[in-house]
Each structure stands twice: as structure tokens, then as C-alpha cells.
Amino acid sequence: MSRARHATPLELADFPVEDLQFGGKLHYAGRRLEVDESELVEIASRDPRVLSARLDIVRPGERTRVTGIRDVVEPRVKVDGAGQVFPGITNPVVPVGAGRTHRLSGMTLITTAEYEGTIRTGTTAQRSAILDMWGPGAELTGFSRFPGLVLTFRLPPNLIEAEAHQAIQGAEYRVAQRLAEATVAAEPADVHTHGAAHGNPRLPRTVVIVGCITESEHLPSGLGYYGLPVRESLSTVVHPNELLDGAVTGSTMKTIAYSPTTWDWQNQPLALGVSREHGRRLDFAGVVLQRIRFESFREKEVAAHNAAQVARALGAEAALVTWIGSGNAFLEVMLTVHACEQKGIKTVLVTYEYGGKDGVDSPLLFYDAAADAVVSTGSRDLALELPPADRVVGAYERLQVLNYPGAPVVSAVDAMSLDAVDAIIGGTDLWGGRDWTCRAH
């Protein structure tokens, strides 16, 4: 269990990007980022498992569709303090979360890969995602609001999933760090301080509990901590500042609705929101990463009890409980709410809904009377019609949009029908990071 409080805070310096262009060098000035295409392709291609790499730029409002998306990253680099961003993956395992980190906000590095995987069907099959920069698809995801640098790989067809994940993640993180290095000599637009140790006993001590699905050993785990795949472990405490420096990462093999991207972990809205109130309205005790989707009900009960015990050991009086996943993994989440309430920890559940295409089906898979404070982040079951695109970038010119054997393959440039928003990167608001309004019926 890691310490939930750093002795020194983290300064996160903001360098907004409003214009993104190819040029002869890497340069940031006046909210404009110029990138050297050949340099970044060379950095991305250092892994011999990357057969080829290319770059494209996409902009909000363009009738452009990005295919084969594996991850989205916000470029960051540490300029002061121990360690470097993405420790354990592209940099040594040194504790991060203190010092000063620069971020290129308002832009994305979108990673796509031409890769089919060795497991072709079922819940463990790899799946990529798409992004429309305009139209109804763009309205569902925040990634359409940013200019994006699209990094596309071609990988060997016989590469196993774990090696494909390592190749993709290592290459994209090297490129992301290099992009952020453009800011080293620049002045930030703003600087936010996170994690100062207030420790005010008069404020309610609060934790954020994130239930995380993890995969079996032959696949990349859906959760990594300093590059270590989290699989069978019980709850782990991390400092929220570690999220900002890339110490917590996900998988590049399943970029579907309930799989957070690296960008989502870097900008985890609940951790950031609670961190901003630290020392003012509450005392932030830390983030609890909870492994979920155990096989038996007894294992699920143990996982829930353990998460509540960890929260209580941190002195928590309140908890935000949320999750990454689908299906029976939600049992651990609801059982965790119950276990926390039994220990006197007031909980708020933050979750997306199901509801079916017409919104009349059950919104949640399992209920408990203890969950009397629930925040919905919207529905995952929306059907959607996407118009034809003028331009397609990324890994695929043709797509199998629906996830079942024998599903039709369609041209990526044509109009397409989605039976849910799973295929759109960021299409489901996992943790309440977007602005929503409610309408009574």
C-alpha cells in the first residue's frame, strides 16, 4: 500500500494548444504547437515490433473519422522533482506526484494501430474505437473538441496481445513526452498546485474508490501501476498526484465504452475535483484502486469488504465510489457501497446507466438499499446514426463496427449505424467529467 499523502505538492503547469501544425522542428509559442513529423516517427519506431508509423492532424469540425483507436494521451513532462512521467513504462520506477509537471492541454495524441489480435471473439477479444470530429458522434465525446495528432502503427499480425500492448504504449508515451518537452523554456498560461498536506481535522476526510476490471494473465491487464499489471490484488492506495504523472495506466487492447484512456486517468475528474477542494471543504485521503469482476460471490464480498476496510484505515468519513467495467463487475461496486455505509462512511455512487435503446430497461444491474445517493453520468445504450465522412485517418479503411462473429464489414468513409456508443472513444462518460443537464419527464 502506497502512502496517500505527499510531503511536497505537485505543480501542474498548463500550456494550452489551439493550433497544431507540422514543421521543421518541435516548437511551442502563442498557443501554437509545431511538430517535426520525421523526428516523432523515428521516436515511435524505435521498438522493432512497430513495422511502420505515420502521423496525421485532425481538427474539431472537420468531417474526419479516426479509426482503429487504441489510446488517447495528453502530452506531459516533468521538469522538476523526482522521476519522470510514465514511470515503469518509458522511464525508471521512481515515485512521482511531486515537483512540477508541464501539460499540453487542449490537444490530444490519438494512437491507432492496425492489429487484429490472436483472440478474435468473446469478451476477451481486443477491440478498437473510432472518433468523429464532427456531427452526432462528436457530440458524445470530449475528444472531438481538441486538435489531435494521430499516431498510426502497423504491427506484426502474429504478435500476441501482451506484446502488442507493450509496443503501442511504449511508443505513444515516448512521443507524448517528447511533445511536452516543447514547453520546457516557455511560460505557462496557468499553474495549479495539487496535494498540499493540509490535514485539517475539522474537515470530512474523503476518499475516491475506483473499481477496476482486470484481465487474465494472457492479456494486458486493464490496470497498471508504475507499469506493473494489477490482476489478483486487493485494494491499493495511490496518491491522486500519481495519476497526473502517469503512474496509473490502462490497456490499449480494449478501447470500448468502459475502458478509460490514458488521458482519462491523467484527468480523472473525481480525483481532480476532490483535490481542488482539499483543505477547503474536505481533507482528501487518497484514491483507492479496487480490483473487481471476481468469479464467485464470496470473492466479490471479500473485495468489497477489503475496499471499505482500506478506506476506514485511511480515516475516511466519506467516499465517492465509481468503476470501470460492465456486467457482473458491478456487484462489487454496489457491495462496496454497502460495506462502506456499514462502517459509517457516507458514500456517493457515480456510474453510467444502461436503460436500453428506448431508456425503459433497468438502468443498473444490481441494487442495494445503501445506495441512496447516486449520480448518473448518462446512458451507454444509445443507438446512433453516423453520417458519411469526407476523410478517414487511422488504421482502417474498412470496419467491423458490431462485435460479434460474422458481423458486416463497412467502409469507414460511409454512413454507419451503431447499436450502442461502445465504438466511440470517450462515448460513455465514465466518471462525470463532462457537463450534463437533467430533464424531468
Q: For the chain, how many residues are written?
A: 441
Beta bridge partners of 110: 72, 150
If you search the block for the grid coordinates 456517493, which residue do you land on?
348
Residue 3 has what pLDDT?
A: 41
Other C-beta atoms lying within 10 Å of the C-beta of residue 135: 18
> Would 418 be classed as within a structural domain?
yes
Q: Can you tell me whether residue 160 is helix, strand or coil?
A: coil
Range with the poorest average pLDDT among 81-95, 218-232, 349-363? 349-363
The answer to whether 73 and 172 are in contact (CB under 8 A) is yes
> Would 430 be classed as within a structural domain?
no
> Would 132 be classed as within a structural domain?
yes
Other C-beta atoms lying within 10 Å of the C-beta of residue 92: 10
> Would 428 be classed as within a structural domain?
no
Q: Which of 120, 93, 110 is nearest to 144 (CA)?
A: 110
pLDDT of 387 > 90? The answer is: yes
d(CA 289, CA 269): 15
- The average pLDDT across 92-99 equals 96
What lies within 8 Å, CB to CB, of 55 at 6+ separation is 22, 35, 37, 40, 41, 149, 150, 151, 152
pLDDT of 305 > 70? The answer is: yes
Which tens digit of pLDDT belongs to each residue from 40-95? 999 999 999 999 999 999 999 999 999 999 999 999 999 999 999 999 999 999 99
What lies within 8 Å, CB to CB, of 38 at 6+ separation is none
If you search the block for the grid coordinates 465522412, which residue do you land on?
389
> Would 2 be classed as within a structural domain?
no
pLDDT of 405 > 70? The answer is: no
Residue 1 has what pLDDT?
A: 40
If you search the block for the grid coordinates 468531417, which residue do you land on?
63
Residue 440 has what pLDDT?
A: 59
- The average pLDDT across 232-258 equals 89
Residue type, 415: A
d(CA 373, CA 346): 9
The band of 128, judged by pLDDT with boundaries at 50, 70 and 90, is: confident
H helix or E strand, kind and range, residue 236: strand 236-238
- CA dist 256 → 222, 278, 286 (Å): 12, 32, 27
- The average pLDDT across 342-350 equals 97
Q: Which of 364, 88, 322, 351 is nearest to 221 (CA)?
A: 88
Please give the backbone phi and psi of residue 329, each rounded to the nearest 5 degrees, phi first.
Answer: -60, -20
How many domains are contained in the chain? 1
Residue 439 has what pLDDT?
A: 63
- The average pLDDT across 236-254 equals 93
What mean pLDDT value characterizes the chain? 90
The band of 2, judged by pLDDT with boundaries at 50, 70 and 90, is: very low
> Would 436 be classed as within a structural domain?
no
What lies within 8 Å, CB to CB, of 358 at 6+ separation is none
pLDDT of 437 > 50? The answer is: yes
Residue 327 has what pLDDT?
A: 85
> Would 331 be classed as within a structural domain?
yes
**Judging by beta carbons within 10 Å of its beta carbon (0-12, 13-18, 19+), is residue 328 exposed, middle or buried?**
middle
- The average pLDDT across 110-132 equals 81
d(CA 138, CA 140): 5
Q: Which domain holds residue 405?
A: 10-423
> Would 440 be classed as within a structural domain?
no
With vertex at residue 105, the alpha carbon angle to CA 145 and CA 181, rounded to the nearest 5 degrees, is: 135
What lies within 8 Å, CB to CB, of 324 at 6+ separation is 210, 211, 212, 213, 222, 223, 250, 258, 259, 260, 430
Q: What is the DSSP letter of 441?
A: -
pLDDT of 381 > 70? The answer is: yes
- The average pLDDT across 141-155 equals 96
- CA dist 91 → 87, 110, 185 (Å): 5, 21, 22
Of the chain, the percentage scoring pLDDT greater than 70 comes to 93
Q: At 39, list the grid cell.
A: 523526428
pLDDT of 144 > 80? The answer is: yes
d(CA 74, CA 85): 11
Q: Can you tell me whether residue 431 is helix, strand or coil?
A: coil
Other C-beta atoms lying within 10 Å of the C-beta of residue 117: 19
If you search the block for the grid coordinates 509496443, which residue do you land on?
167
